[in-house]
Amino acid sequence: MKVLFVTSEANPFVKTGGLGDVMGALPQSLQNLGVDARVVLPKHKNIKADYVNKLEFVKWFMVPVGWRSQYCGIFKYEYKSVTYYFIDNEYYFNRDGLYGYDDDAERFAFFDRAVLCFLKEIDWKPDIINCNDWQTGMIPVLHKLEYSKDPFYAYIKTAFSIHNLLFKGIFSADILPNYFGYDYMPMANGSVELHGGASFMKGALNYSDVITTVSNSYAEEIKTPQYGEGLDGLLREKSFKLKGIVNGIDYEEFNPEEDNFIFKKYNYEDLNGKAQNKILLQKELGLPQKENTPMIGLVSRLTNQKGCDLIISIIDRLLQNDIQVVILGTGDYLYEETFKNLQYRYPDKISANIKFDNGLAHKIYAASDMFLMPSLFEPCGLGQLIALRYGSIPIVRETGGLKDTICPYNEYNKVGNGFGFKNYNANELMSITEYALDLYKNKEHWKGIVRQAMESNNSWEKSAQEYNKLYEELLASC
C-alpha cells in the first residue's frame, strides 16, 4: 500500500506546531507496518539549514494557477527511511514564516495543484493521498472535479485529516476562477461555500473519501455547534466517513534517556536527573535555584484556544504560592505582552520566553514538575503527551484529545497521570492547580504520579495501526 501525506509542515524540516510533529513521525510508523508512506510539503525558506543543503533536486515542470503558469521544482530527501518531497517555488515559499500572507489562497492553490501534477512526474504513484488541514484542502476538490477523469488518477483515494477545524482557509469566491480556473458552481452548490467565501476546509470535507481527526473526543465535539466552527451540520452529515484517531509522539525524539537538548538524561527509575534539570534551567533562566519549589511549564502558541485567558486571570492568585512558572510561546500580541509584564512584576517566579525554541522546549518538559494546558478546545494536543514522557504532570481542561489522553489522578486508589477540570472556568483551573500543588508536597505521592505519567504509552504504534486499517478499508471499498 502506498500513501502520500500532503502537509504544509513536517518535523524536522520545518514546524510551527503539532501538525509538524505528526508529519515527522506517523509516516515512519506506517513504514514499520509495511506501508510505503511518503510526504510532500512546500520548500519553505524556514527549512532548517542542516537539511536544506542536502535536498536532492529531482526535476522541474510548470503548473497552471488559473491563467498563470508557474515554475515548480521537486526536491527530495530521505529521513528515517521515509522519502520527503519538497515543492519549490521561490515566489510562493521563499518567505519568512509559513502562513498569514495576503496571497495564502494563491500560494496553497499552487501547492495543491502542484502535488497532483507532480504525481505524473515522479516514478511513484500513491493508492491514497492523505491531506492535512486547510492548506491541502483543495486537493480532494481538484481530484474529484478534474483529475479523477484521467485514468492515471481515477483509482487514487483521498483522505483528509483535520488537525484544527478553527483554521478553515476561507477566501473570496474569486479564488475559484483566479487560481483554479473554475466557475462559481462550487459556491452556488454550497460544496466550498462558507460564510460567503470559498473554504479549502469545507471543500475537503465534501470531496474527500474519508475524514479523520486527531482524537475520538474531538471527532464527537466537532459535530456540535460549540466546537463545529459552523461546519458541525456538515460533519454530522458526513459522520459516516469521519473517524477519530489519537495522535502519538515520536518516542525517539522525545526521550529523557537519550535527549541531547536537556541538561541531564534520566528515566523513571532514577529521577535525580530530572531534579538537576530543574536547577540548571532555573540557573539558565535567572530564576532562584530551589529544588523543592514546584515548576509549572507552559510551551504553547499563546492564543485564546490554549487557555491563556484562564491562566492570566488566576496568575496573581496562583503566584501567592511558592512556585515558578516557565512560559515558552509566541502568539497574540496581548498575551505575549501580558506574560512579559508578569515576568517584570514577578522576576523570581516567572520566566516568559516569547520565542519559538525547540531546545528550550525540551528543557522545560524535562525540568518542570507540572505542565499547563487549560485549552478552550484541543483537537489532540501533543504538549501533554510530551510532558507525560518527561514526567511533567499535565494540568488540562478535559476537552478533545486532552480528555482522551489524561486520566485525572485519584488520590484514593492512586491511579492517574494528570489533573483535569471540566468547564472553561478560571476557578476550576485555580482549584485543580492548588490541589496538584498540595499533592506535590508529599514526595512519595508525587513520585507515584510521575511514574504513572512516564509509563503512559503514547507512542505512534497503536495509532499507526488504526490508520493502516482505515486505509485498507478505504481501498477495499472501491
d(CA 226, CA 37): 35
177: preceding bond cis by omega (within 30 degrees): no
Assess 253 for contact with ligand ADP (CB under 6 A).
no
Question: Whose Cβ is closer to ligand ADP: residue 175's or residue 298's?
Answer: 298
HSE, CB side, 13 Å, CA atoms: give it for residue 382. 26
Tell which one of 299, 367, 370, 454 touches ligand ADP (CB under 6 A): 299
Start-end of H helices in 171-260: 175, 185-188, 200-207, 216-221, 232-237
Pairing, β 393-397 against β 419-421: parallel
Residue 386 Cβ, how far from ligand ADP at the closest point, in Å? 6
Nearest CA among 261, 256, 326, 338 for reference residue 298: 326
Looking at the Cβ atoms of 21 and 369, the one nearer to ligand ADP is 21
77 binds ligand ADP (CB under 6 A): no
Residue 249 or 323: the one with the smaller Cβ distance to ligand ADP is: 249
Q: How far is the CB of 368 from ligand ADP (least distance, A)?
A: 12
Nearest Cα to 245, choosing from 127, 163, 140, 156?
163
Determine if 358 is a binding residue for ligand ADP (CB under 6 A): yes
72 secondary structure, DSSP code: E
300 binding ligand ADP? (CB under 6 A): yes
Q: DSSP 3-state helix, strand, coil percentages of the chain (rounded to 5)?
A: 40, 20, 35
Binding mask 13-52 for ligand ADP (x = CB under 6 A): ----xx--x-------------------------------
Nearer to ligand ADP, 148 or 330 (CB): 330
> What is the spatial distance between Cα 165 and Cα 180, in angstroms, rounded to a whole number?
23
> Contact with ligand ADP (CB under 6 A): which of 114, 129, 325, 361?
361
Kindly state the smallest distance separating residue 392's Cβ from ligand ADP, in Å. 11
State yes or no: residue 326 binds ligand ADP (CB under 6 A). Answer: no
Smallest distance, ligand ADP to C-beta of residue 254, A: 8
Task: Please tell me the count of residues contacting ligand ADP according to CB under 6 A.
Answer: 19
CB atoms within 10 A of CB 209: 19
Please, what is the minimum distance in Å from the beta carbon of residue 246 to ligand ADP?
12
Residue 17 vs 273, nearer CB to ligand ADP: 17
Q: Is 382 in the site for ligand ADP (CB under 6 A)?
A: yes
The C-alpha cell at 129 is 493521498
Q: 79-89 in b/e burial notation, b at 16+ Cβ within 10 A?
A: beebbbbbbbb
Q: Provide the minimum distance between the beta carbon of 419 and ligand ADP in the complex, in angstroms, as a whole number.
A: 17
Q: Is 372 in the site for ligand ADP (CB under 6 A)?
A: no
Comparing CB distances to ligand ADP, the nearer of 267 and 305 is 305
In angstroms, rounded to a whole number, what is the distance separating the alpha carbons of residues 301 and 383?
A: 11
Shortest Cβ 173–ligand ADP spacing (Å): 29
CB under 6 A: which stretch of 117-125, 317-325, 377-385, 424-432 binds ligand ADP?
A: 377-385
Contacts of 312 (CB under 8 A, 6+ apart): 335, 338
Provide the minimum distance between the beta carbon of 378 and ligand ADP in the complex, in angstroms, as a whole number. 7
Strand partners, 130: 5, 159
Using the rule CB under 6 A, is 329 a contact of ligand ADP? yes
Strand 56-65 relative to strand 68-79: parallel, antiparallel, unpaired? antiparallel
State yes or no: residue 356 binds ligand ADP (CB under 6 A): yes
Closest-by-Cβ residue to ligand ADP is 18
Q: How far is the CB of 257 from ligand ADP (least distance, A)?
A: 19
Across-strand partners of 60? Answer: 73
Identify the residue among 42, 126, 383, 416 touching ligand ADP (CB under 6 A): 383
Q: Is 168 annotated as a binding residue?
A: no
Put residue 276 in one of left, alpha, beta given phi > 0 → left and psi -120 to 50 → alpha: alpha
The C-alpha atoms of residue 183 and residue 65 are separated, in whole angstroms, by: 14
Nearer to ligand ADP, 18 or 126 (CB): 18
What are the φ and ψ backbone dihedral angles of 98, each rounded to 5 degrees? -100, -40
- What residues have CB less than 8 Å from 50, skipping those under 6 apart? none
Binding site for ligand ADP (CB under 6 A): 17-18, 21, 164, 299-301, 328-330, 356-358, 361, 380-383, 386
